[in-house]
Amino acid sequence: MSKLLRAQSNEEKGLSNWTLSKLRQAILDGRFEPGEKLDQALIVSELGVSRTPLREAIKVLAIEGFVEIRSYRGVYISVITKEDVDDIYEVRWVIESEIVRQVTPLISDDVLKHLENLMKTKGAQHKTWGERWHYEIDQEFHGTLVGCCQNKLFRVILDGLNNRIVRVRRFALRQPGTHLEISHHEHLDILRAMKKRDAGEAAKMMERHLKNSAKRIGKYVGE
């Protein structure tokens, strides 16, 4: 392959990745309705790209579960189902409860103190239990625990599911009710067990939290 052709290939790849990032974020931000058909001509126009990087982005989004490609009908935003929620959270509670079991005896007091301050300070500041702050706390809480785990494969698996997890999280955050407050208190239960260095109890609390989260979110989705 000539240098010119290689440069063109790299440029196209970069444009496809940029298009993928923009489109994925738009879906996560709720700019498309579940089940909505993508107006590909409009997207191409708004992003200022050709059809090729859009097609490549759509292929990845389909693999990630963000869109559905229907033969001869077009591309549609995927609808989150109860099965999606159950599958994602089953993987999470199996892995993350074991992560907590392993991390609890090893995690430093400084990290535990940081998480405690995160929970109490932001929780006190945002009594409306709004979307933005809860998302930030939830991401940092779970992300910190996963980051402390010495099992690299656990991290790889969760990283691979991250976009699916984020999509369900974003969906849950937009729903009405007290589920955000309940989730926050479950985080505090996990943290209290970890501060006591009770690995078994902390793992049990994490499993309970993620199973309960699946049930709470499942109430807002179809089958």
CATH for 120: 1.20.120.530
Contact partners, residue 12, CB within 8 Å, separation at least 6:
52, 53
CATH of the domain at 69: 1.10.10.10
Q: Tens-of-pLDDT digits for all 223 residues of the chain? A: 334 334 434 455 688 899 999 999 898 877 888 899 999 999 999 999 999 999 999 999 998 889 999 998 999 998 888 998 999 999 999 999 999 999 999 999 999 999 999 888 765 555 554 556 777 888 899 999 999 999 999 999 999 888 888 888 888 877 777 788 888 899 999 999 999 999 999 999 999 999 999 999 988 886 5
- pTM listed for this prediction: 0.78
Backbone angles phi, psi at 50, to 5 degrees: -90, 180
Q: Are residues 128 and 160 in the same domain?
A: yes
Final residue belonging to a domain, choices 77, 107, 141: 77
Q: Are residues 107 and 174 in the same domain?
A: yes
Final residue belonging to a domain, choices 48, 77, 106: 77
Q: Are residues 96 and 187 in the same domain?
A: yes
pLDDT for residue 121 = 72
Q: Whole-angstrom Cα distance, residue 92 to residue 136?
A: 18
Q: Are residues 96 and 203 in the same domain?
A: yes
CB atoms within 10 A of CB 175: 14
Q: Are residues 65 and 33 in the same domain?
A: yes
Q: Are residues 87 and 133 in the same domain?
A: yes
For residue 223, is it within any domain?
Answer: no
Please count the structural domains in the chain: 2
Final residue belonging to a domain, choices 53, 77, 101: 77
For residue 138, is it within any domain?
Answer: yes
b or e along 53-92 (b: 16 or more beta carbons within 10 Å of the residue's beta carbon)? Answer: bbebbbebbeebbbbeeeeeeebbbbebebebbbebbebb
Q: Are residues 67 and 125 in the same domain?
A: no
For residue 58, is it within any domain?
Answer: yes
3-class SS of residue 33: coil
For residue 141, is it within any domain?
Answer: yes
For residue 30, is it within any domain?
Answer: yes
Q: Are residues 87 and 149 in the same domain?
A: yes
Q: Whole-angstrom Cα distance, residue 89 to residue 99?
A: 15
pLDDT for residue 6 = 42
Range of the domain at 99: 82-218
Q: Are residues 32 and 93 in the same domain?
A: no
Q: Are residues 69 and 96 in the same domain?
A: no
Q: Are residues 135 and 148 in the same domain?
A: yes
Q: Are residues 117 and 19 in the same domain?
A: no
Task: Compute, in degrees rounded to 10, the torsion defined by CA atoms 115, 94, 64, 151.
Answer: 70
